[in-house]
Structure 1
């Protein structure tokens, strides 16, 4: 048997961590001296401790490690590792995106362009005859699924789409949401057919005043438009936001390979104060 200090040196695990694992019930000493209260460890415990350290270094929490140890079979651990791999890949993507934003911010600071101001013009938007598909999506990035489904349905039903491909998205939520977003995608058409469910032919609402601006570059730039619009509203105190926002992608993944060349029109409904 080894005292905790000896066991710490032999396994290269700190005394603090050994005590923590004991307190959480994850890895207890083989026995405790009834007279001194010293924790005593056995050499036969080393393989178990190595498993714990292995999983800890992969980012497993204590509760996850407990589950893994209780079901330590080849198939179970393989599934666990595949799941952890996906989680790590997602985390890497998120961190890479943070780095990209930091690099972009540094470039903008150099150019004194960190607060880009967009020019807005006020338009009157007429009503349109459209075929539309509306659904609550997990997040805004899932909008592409709606466009794909609407396009496939139109092709299946032999719906003649205009050559100019006029289409737009309507965002029905009154706030920005991280999930469960209410989105409707619309394609302007000249025909009507009977439909069921969330697919329908309808007339969109005419809008008396829309504040409109063009966004060049990847979709990540769109968030800057709304920040800039906050300044615009401050400078034009006779207006306030009202109703729903719309988005028209004039150039996107379907007709432009380089995201830097995307062209998106943002429309924000207004009313006079």
Structure 2
């Protein structure tokens, strides 16, 4: 079972929203520890959480979500989804993203959704000397501007880069806004700290769970859910550090989002 912060990280849903879903009865914890009061969740709850998110992102309010989840006939659920689709279509450009999410909801809720298969492996990651830039950014889309800033700093000072850049996420649970992120680029030689940029040794990780995510960044949420299932099936390991991400192919070197390639990494320890 997972504490609420761990479940938040693995499902990419904020602790605030999980607590709200508990309060409204949409998603109760699998168990509440009677001694500590901690909310505890299981992977079997992920499909219902996905249904809530699909419907929420499609514009359904709490009462409509309850009605949709309680609908026993798929025909009734299809009519509800179709009605919302017509409403969103009328909003033209501003609602194109909602239309895409509604299509995803129909496939997942009515057809069982196939999903994407993620192969998870465990490997050691060596320590490295890195040029680091850590900031709190408004949301994940702000990370691209930070990478440009770091690349400009390294270029102006002719700092020799020796490896693949990666991000480290310092928030203890998933955040939609005000994301605490650290960008790291391996370097050959130590450089002086300046203007918010620091030179530090990023520690080695003996056991790093890793998976590759192909396609648009929206596929990343499914990869974290795959991590959750894998961790529950492999109880010899438990999460033990900050999540890392390496974008091997992204907006700067690939025009088609369907061809993006992102590596997600979660440090582990022996349970």
Q: Bin the TM-score by the shorter chain.
A: 0.5 to 0.7
Q: Which residue of 2 aligns with 1:170?
A: 168
Distance in 2 (alpha carbons) for counterparts of 1:249 and 1:111? 31
> Normalising by the residue count of structure 2, what TM-score does the alignment of the two structures yield?
0.62
Question: How does 1:135-146 map onto structure 2 within 5 Å?
Answer: 135-146=135-146
Aligned-pair Cα RMSD in Å? 2.2
Distance in 1 (alpha carbons) for counterparts of 2:249 and 2:105? 25
Q: After superposition, what is the alpha-carbon deviation per residue over 1:131-160, rounded to whole angstroms, capped at 9, x for unaligned? A: 110111111111111101100111111122
Judged with a 3 Å threshold, the aligned counterparts in structure 2 of structure 1 residues 97 and 195 are, in CA distance, closer, same or farther, namely: same
SS at 2:240 equivalent: strand
SS at 1:209 equivalent: strand
Judged with a 3 Å threshold, the aligned counterparts in structure 2 of structure 1 residues 93 and 150 are, in CA distance, closer, same or farther, namely: farther
Judged with a 3 Å threshold, the aligned counterparts in structure 2 of structure 1 residues 261 and 105 are, in CA distance, closer, same or farther, namely: farther
Checking the alignment, whether the CA contact within 8 Å between 1:105 and 1:114 is kept in structure 2 is no
2:260 pairs with one of 259, 262, 265 = 262
Equivalent pairs, count: 181
Judged with a 3 Å threshold, the aligned counterparts in structure 2 of structure 1 residues 208 and 116 are, in CA distance, closer, same or farther, namely: same
SS at 2:174 equivalent: coil
Shift of 1:237: 1.5
Q: Which residue of 2 aligns with 1:21?
A: none
Q: Which residue of 2 aligns with 1:232?
A: 230
Distance in 2 (alpha carbons) for counterparts of 1:125 and 1:161? 18
SS at 1:161 equivalent: coil
Q: Which residue of 2 aligns with 1:153?
A: 153
Larger Rg: 1
Q: Which residue of 2 aligns with 1:212?
A: 210
Question: How does 1:84-163 map onto structure 2 within 5 Å?
Answer: 95-106=95-106, 113-162=113-162
> Normalising by the residue count of structure 1, what TM-score does the alignment of the two structures yield?
0.61
Distance in 1 (alpha carbons) for counterparts of 2:238 and 2:151? 35
Judged with a 3 Å threshold, the aligned counterparts in structure 2 of structure 1 residues 99 and 114 are, in CA distance, closer, same or farther, namely: farther
SS at 2:160 equivalent: coil
Shift of 1:107: 5.1
Distance in 1 (alpha carbons) for counterparts of 2:180 and 2:255? 28
